Each structure stands twice: as structure tokens, then as C-alpha cells.
Chain A
Amino acid sequence: MREILIIGAGPAGLAAARAARARGASVTLLDAADDVGGQYWRHLPASLSAGREDLLHHGWATFTALRSDLDDDPGCRIVRGAQVWAIERGETTGRPDAARPDAARPDAGNRDTGRPDAEPAEHDDRGGHVVHALAGPVDGTDRERITLTPDALVLATGAHDRTLPFPGWDLPGVFTPGAAQALAKGERVTVGERVAVAGAGPFLLPVAASLVQTGTTVVGVFEASRARTLAAGWLSRPWRLARAGKKGAELAGYAAGQLRHRIPYRTGTAVIRAHGTDAVTAVTVAKLDRDWRPIPGTERRIPVDAVCAGHGFTPRLELAVAAGCVLTGDSFVAVDDAQRTSEPGVYAAGEITGIGGVELAMAEGSIAGHHAAGGDTGTSPVRAARVARGVHRDIARRIEAAHGIRPGWSSWLDDDTVICRCEEVRHGPLRDTAAATASTSLRSLKLSTRAGLGICQGRMCGRTVDALLRQHAPHAHRNDNATFDHRPLAFPLRLAELADHPKDNDRKESA
């Protein structure tokens, strides 16, 4: 039976699992969180259940049905709390070479798919990728080692918030919108009593709604894009939007909620500074021009307990890059009509192929799972998913047109504004070091400024540093192909877990 490994159990991964099972493949579904659902259906753990949890979610019934179908399906193994930390490319991909001493070595205690090491590829498109994961408590030790060599791999790793820096954004009390969502939906904790929600994109609306449901006062939703840009993005060819039934209704629902709770929704406005010493106590908001430059004289100071700031999303690409997948010019995983990546046997679905929301993710997941399991194009469920994918890609384009980041944001930075949070690389030194070395290599710039070299590995600042370096040296084209998305170790793991025989070292130490 064809073995399909799906990484990521959000909407795209769940849909992929269902589609691959429908085609009769054996499915393993890994997620780093300890339950499925991803960030979109982030929910209470079993120990914190609630009678009306559905009030916090859209499509909750869809999710719970999907989850219980897969949980009850003996052909689908769901491994929760499994952190994939590396993907090795196999022999059938990349450059030719001789030795592959390590791949899929039979390893006692592994939960292998049972595929022996030296077996030749039996499917035309099998890429020979080896996936390494650890299952157990997050950042624990002695976790269970999982090594898998599937026939096909579906990457559905999703995205995380992208927050543009502003002075004070590193103060405690400034969160990403995703953090507010996770705390509200995952454990019923609110980030403060008076909260500013700021940034860009339709996702700010459900965040404000979640906060209201936790009893918080949202002092305002500050959307950087101006009303005219929003209208042009959302309302060009509105008859197309009508086809996106559920999405349209969801957004309309948020809008109604905003009115009901009297949340001010300010377009063309940004939080350009957070004030406070040990924690945020106030923000400065300002009106923006069409390029997101603050308009002098429009600044207004608002007392707050917390800020949720997000300016869109960054796809989580490290596993796709490790697998060898080619990226698009705007740094998403390039896929074809069947959601196939450039790598044999590797499929991608959801936000890593383009930010588009839950319906698009599920459509792509269905298509990816179907084809990964050997399905062909003509099958009717795939035809429906393809139609849905077309509609929701159109919406995604509108979102980008309406809310996409404009270059003027960098004018709200001070020289002292932290850009890279981990290494505390500030805007002035970043710019000056880049100028002093005159480097045309992103790799060199990272190593000489330390931007992006900290423990988050550039997840938070990578896109920002890249953009700033390009702004500060517009004439210097890049002469290397370095990116911030290359993380061969996808997540930190302890040396004992990495080492061949961690227990031996322990014994040696105590002997």
C-alpha cells in the first residue's frame, strides 16, 4: 500500500489526509502541537473542554467531523506532539553521489513505516526523502525518535504572523495576533483589558472578535491600508466574491460583530510606537499615506494594556526548502496544478503555497492528498476542489492587493528600534554595517550583523531584514542565493537527542 506522510494537521493537512485515505493510501499525519487543527482551529485541550466551544470557531462542525473520521480510521495514524526537525533528500533527487550512510538505517525503537533501507524506488515519483521527528513534550528530552521514508510527502506546514517592527514592539505586552488567538481559543486567557489590534489584513477582524469574547475592550482595529486601497482590492469584480459564499459570510459576520461591539475600525492607520518601560502602557497611532508613511501631525496617543500587531503572514518554508522544493519569486513553495512541488514525491498545500485562508488550504490539501495517493485528475471530488481552489486563489489575490505591505513602513523605525529580536540587532547598526561592508551577499550580511542568527533562526525578522537591506542598498543586487528560509535543523533539539546513543553518554558521565 502506498505510504503517505503528511506534515502539519491544520486545515490543509487534514483535508489531504482525508483525500489520501479516500484513494486507499496509508496515511501518517504528524503535527508538532498536541492536537490537530492547526492555528486556525486552535482549541481547548481535552482537559479544558467547554459546552459551547463552537462559539469560538468558524467551521467547527467541519473540523470535529474531520478529526473524528481520521481518529477512527485505522488506515490513518495521527502522531501528535511530533516535531519534524530535519528532512534529508534522498538519492533520486539532487546531485548524484555515492554514500548515503545514514538514511533510514534500521534503528531499534523507531516507528518506521517498515520500508527497508536499500529498497529501490518503486514509484516513478518517489523522492526518497527521509523525515526525522521527535515525539513527546515540547522541547523535552528523551523524546521518541521517529524516522520515516514515505512514498509521498505532503507538506502542509502553514504560516505564522509577520509583524513589522516599530519602536517598542519588543516590550512585554506586545503580541502577535496569533498569540492573542492561541491564548483566547486555547486556554481562555486574554492579553489585557484594553487592547489595540493593529497591522494589515482581514485576520485582524477575527482576532478582535476573539478578544471581545474574552471580555476585553478592543480600543481599535488599526488597518494600515487605506480605505481606497481596500475598496480597490476587495471590490474589483465583486461578482467573483459572491461565489466565495462562506468566506464572504464569515467576513460579513466579523463586520457585524465590530458594529455590535462598537469597535472602531480605522483604515490607513498604524500603531507606530509602543510606550512603556517594563511593559506597554500606551501606543501612538498615526494616519498613513498610501505607501504607509506616517502623516505628520496625525499622531494620537492611546493608553492600552496590550497590543496585537500583525501585518500578514510568513509561510513556514524550512521543511520545503530542506526537501529541495523550488520556491516562487515571492517566496512560496512552487506547485503545479496537482499541488506537486519541484521535488519528486513531494506535494505542498495551504499557506506555504500562498496565503489564502482556510477554504483555499482545504481545497489544496484535498488535491494534494488525492494526487499523492496516486489519484488522477478526472475524479469528481478533485474537480470540485479545483473549482474551490480557483475561487479562493482569487480572493487571496484580492487580500494581497488590499492589505499587502507598502514600503513606507520603514520610516516609522528609529535607529534604536530592534529589528532582530533574538540578537537585538537594531536598525541603525544593521544599516550602517551593511553600508560599511558594501556586501552583496545576504549570507555575509547575516553573519556580520547577526540579524537572523538567533534561536528563532530568522523566523521573526528574516523578511524584514531582507526588505531593509534591499531598501538601504537599492543598487546592490544580491550575488548569492542565501535566504532566511534555509534551516537544515528545522527546530532546536538537544545534543543527546541528536547523538547516536544518548544513553551511552549518560552512563559514561555517571560512571
Chain B
Amino acid sequence: MTVPPFPVPPSQDPIRPDPGTSIRISVDETEYPGRAGQTIAGVMLAAGLLSWRYSSGSGAPRGAFCGIGVCFDCLATVNGQRDVRTCQRRAVDGDVVVTQHDPLPRPPRAPAPESAAESASEPAHRSAPEPPHPSGPDSPLREGGSGA
């Protein structure tokens, strides 16, 4: 059974930590406790979250990796701002963290009507489904465009 990351129990910590100030942040609407001065990634890891993002191509889970702000694996949307490196941003009481998943767009349409049928029969792309295309096949503009 895997034991996720955890905070060092202060009573057992040889460095004799001060208690610090408690804070709470929310991650996807669930509240997590932390201490002022922790990073957002630190709060999430200490709460047992190992991953909070899916990769864009294969949808693999991702969390913290480098811990020092250079790998960008730990990105999340914080207080409405996307692409925040949570391993570097200090958590502030009341921070609203929303996990961030950016699936790839579907491959471009095939170059010409002849090959469009072939590409439609290709296996579905592995990434999470794309939101509906606002000028999809129903759009008169789009229909006119592909027929031109």
C-alpha cells in the first residue's frame, strides 16, 4: 500500500518547529488545511494528493516533479489565473485552486474531401474529448467554407 507524501509530525521533528498559522485552501471545491508559508503544491502533497493535472496527449496524471519551478508539471489555476507553478506559489488562506487539464485539439481536418472519409475512420484520439466546436458542421459559414 502506497503511502503518499505527508507532513513531518511537529512533535517528532528534531528541528523543533513553531506551530505557525493555519490556513485553508480549496482545490476543486474541496478544502485542505495548510500552514502559512507552505507552497500550494506543498499543501496538496501534504494532504495526500499526488497528482492534480492530466497530461494533454495521453491523459496521464501529473503532479509535482522538480519542486523548484522549472518543470511546469505542477501547473494549476489559482484564483482564476491559469498556469501557476504551484510548487513556487505560496499558499494564501482562501486561495481557490482549480485543477487544469488542457487536452490537445483534434488533429486538423484532412486536406481534401477525398481523404476526409479516411481520416474520419481513424481510431479516436486518446486525449479527453474536445469541447464542441462553436463553428462545427452545423454552422452555415463552416459548411460554405468546406464546400468552396
* B117 in the interface (beta carbon within 8 A): no
Residues of A within 8 A of B90 (CB): 34, 45, 137-138
Compute how far the CA of A326 lies from the CA of B84 in the bound complex, rounded to whole angstroms: 32
* A-contacting 9-mer, from B6-14, B107-115, B134-142: B6-14
Which residues of A from 286 to 326 have beta carbons under 8 Å from B? Answer: 305-306, 316
* A477 in the interface (beta carbon within 8 A): no
Compute how far the CA of A446 lies from the CA of B69 in the bound complex, rounded to whole angstroms: 23
Which residues of A from 470 to 487 have beta carbons under 8 Å from B? Answer: none
Say yes or no: A424-B55 contact (C-beta < 8 A), given A182-B67, A183-B45, A189-B8.
Answer: yes
Say yes or no: A48-B84 contact (C-beta < 8 A), given A278-B61, A459-B70.
Answer: no
Q: Which of A45, A56, A140, A179 contacts B65 (CB 8 A)?
A: A179
Q: Is there an interface contact between B12 and A421, defined as CB atoms closer than 8 Å? A: no
Compute how far the CA of A213 lies from the CA of B65 in the bound complex, rounded to whole angstroms: 21
Which residues of B from 1 to 31 have beta carbons under 8 Å from A? Answer: 2-10, 12-18, 20-21
Residues of A within 8 A of B51 (CB): 172, 278-279
Q: Is there an interface contact between A170 and B62, defined as CB atoms closer than 8 Å? A: yes
Residues of A within 8 A of B6 (CB): 189-190, 193
Q: Shortest CB–CB separation between residue A39 and chain B, in angstroms? A: 6
Complex: chain A residue closest to B63, CB-CB? A172
* A180 in the interface (beta carbon within 8 A): yes
Q: Is there an interface contact between B46 and A50, defined as CB atoms closer than 8 Å? A: no
Q: Is there an interface contact between A176 and B14, defined as CB atoms closer than 8 Å? A: no
Compute how far the CA of A191 lies from the CA of B12 in the bound complex, rounded to whole angstroms: 17
Compute how far the CA of A141 lies from the CA of B89 in the bound complex, rounded to whole angstroms: 12
Compute how far the CA of A459 lies from the CA of B72 in the bound complex, rounded to whole angstroms: 10
Over the window 173-196 of chain A, the binary record of Cβ atoms lying under 8 Å from chain B Cβ atoms (1 yes, 0 no) is 111101111111011111111100
Which residues of B from 63 to 108 have beta carbons under 8 Å from A? Answer: 63-73, 75, 78, 81, 83-85, 87-90
* A125 in the interface (beta carbon within 8 A): no
* A215 in the interface (beta carbon within 8 A): yes
Over the window 40-77 of chain A, the binary record of Cβ atoms lying under 8 Å from chain B Cβ atoms (1 yes, 0 no) is 00001111111111011000000000000000000000
Complex: chain B residue closest to A48, CB-CB? B37
Q: Is there an interface contact between B20 and A176, defined as CB atoms closer than 8 Å? A: no
Q: Is there an interface contact between A421 and B73, defined as CB atoms closer than 8 Å? A: yes
Q: Is there an interface contact between B42 and A187, defined as CB atoms closer than 8 Å? A: yes
* A447 in the interface (beta carbon within 8 A): no
Q: Report the interface size for chain A: residues with CB under 8 A from the other chain.
A: 68
Q: Which of B17, B58, B70, B83 contacts A424 (CB 8 A)?
A: B58
* A394 in the interface (beta carbon within 8 A): no
Residues of B within 8 A of A44 (CB): 17, 37
Compute how far the CA of A140 lies from the CA of B12 in the bound complex, rounded to whole angstroms: 36
Q: Which of B8, B38, B58, B72 contacts A190 (CB 8 A)?
A: B8
* A113 in the interface (beta carbon within 8 A): no
Q: Is there an interface contact between A137 and B8, defined as CB atoms closer than 8 Å? A: no
Compute how far the CA of A170 lies from the CA of B2 in the bound complex, rounded to whole angstroms: 17
Complex: chain B residue closest to A308, CB-CB? B67
Residues of B within 8 A of A423 (CB): 57
Q: Is there an interface contact between A215 and B8, defined as CB atoms closer than 8 Å? A: yes
Q: Is there an interface contact between A47 and B20, defined as CB atoms closer than 8 Å? A: yes
Q: Which of A138, A186, A424 contacts B85 (CB 8 A)?
A: A138
Q: Is there an interface contact between A179 and B67, defined as CB atoms closer than 8 Å? A: yes
Say yes or no: A188-B55 contact (C-beta < 8 A), given A173-B50, A421-B65.
Answer: no
* A468 in the interface (beta carbon within 8 A): no
Compute how far the CA of A306 lies from the CA of B6 in the bound complex, rounded to whole angstroms: 12
Compute how far the CA of A215 lies from the CA of B42 in the bound complex, rounded to whole angstroms: 17
Q: Is there an interface contact between A193 and B67, defined as CB atoms closer than 8 Å? A: no
Q: Is there an interface contact between A191 and B13, defined as CB atoms closer than 8 Å? A: no
Which residues of A from 210 to 238 have beta carbons under 8 Å from B? Answer: 213-215
Q: Is there an interface contact between A45 and B37, defined as CB atoms closer than 8 Å? A: yes
17 pairs, CB–CB < 8 Å, chain A vs chain B: A33-B88, A45-B37, A48-B37, A52-B16, A55-B15, A138-B69, A138-B84, A138-B90, A170-B62, A178-B66, A182-B87, A189-B42, A189-B46, A193-B3, A306-B5, A421-B62, A456-B70
Report A's interface with B, CB cutoff 8 A: 32-34, 39, 44-53, 55-56, 137-141, 160-161, 170-176, 178-184, 186-194, 213-215, 276, 278-281, 305-306, 316, 421-424, 454-456, 459-460, 492, 494
Which 5 A-B residue pairings sit nearest by Cβ, starting from the closest?
A179-B67, A47-B37, A45-B37, A51-B16, A193-B3
Report B's interface with A, CB cutoff 8 A: 2-10, 12-18, 20-21, 35-39, 42, 45-46, 50-51, 55-58, 60-73, 75, 78, 81, 83-85, 87-90
